[in-house]
Structure 1
Amino acid sequence: MKELKVGDTIPHFIAKDTNGNDFDSATVVGHKPLVIYFYPKDNTPGCTAQACSFRDQYEDFKDLGAEVIGISSDNLASHQQFAKRYQLPFILLTDPDKKIRKLFGVPTGMFGLLPGRVTYVTDRNGVVQMVFDSMLATKHIPKALAALKKFV
């Protein structure tokens, strides 16, 4: 499993979004900057804090022309409930078999017990400009905004 690094291009992937539709990464990669964040689980304290922080600053990301995409292995029903409960305005994708997580090379955290929490920021061409790997959930949002502001 090769971890994506700064300078790599985001790999192509397809996953179900919260509406049950197929989301094809080709519809956004090469069109706008992206903030793709992998998180362990819906409705857990850290993941909820992270999602709500992205929600609260979503307009700042949109103002920079970026789209935010959250990915976890939770199922569609879980994502739908999570998005509705916390009024999340951005895309959540299901990755039940962890194929996308493996494609990006997201490491596991907590001695291999938890899926890792990693945020990738890409430019409009899909080239990774920042990788932030930290279980400190709310630290991802200011890091992602700062990275975007450097190249937008």
Structure 2
Amino acid sequence: MGARLARVVFVDSSVPVDGGTFFAGWPDGGAELQAVIAENGGWWPLVPADYFDGQGLSAQQVARILAHSTPHPGATLVEPAVLTGPLGELPATYVLCLLAGDEPGDTVAELLTSDRWRLVEMPTGHWPMFSQPRELAQILLDAASESTTPTV
């Protein structure tokens, strides 16, 4: 699919590692969360409201997220990723939400050394689509226009 993509935007997310799972970089390999997924029939259950504390969200925004959330399919987290090429060769923008952590993880930091990857920082938490939707939309528009700009 990579040849069909002009640019990928990762919004404060993990990035896949060939042969690795979502939990590959976690200190405990995500053992606790993997157990929660197993206990919930293969689903990552919804989180409580206090999970969103300190992320720049109002009580109304948190209520909206919770009201429209669904459990996350656990297989996307526990099955190994299969990449057909180096991720660093794919044009990408990585959006780092500073309230969730002011440094990208090791895998992302390494990918950002590629001249095809760009870092954009946002002074908000992990859910900028709620806390700063206009600013995030502008980042997405900028990434889209960057993708269509011919290179010389």
TM-score when normalising by structure 1: 0.26
Q: Which has the larger radius of gyration?
A: 2
Q: Per residue, is there more strand in 1 or in 2?
A: 1
TM-score when normalising by structure 2: 0.26
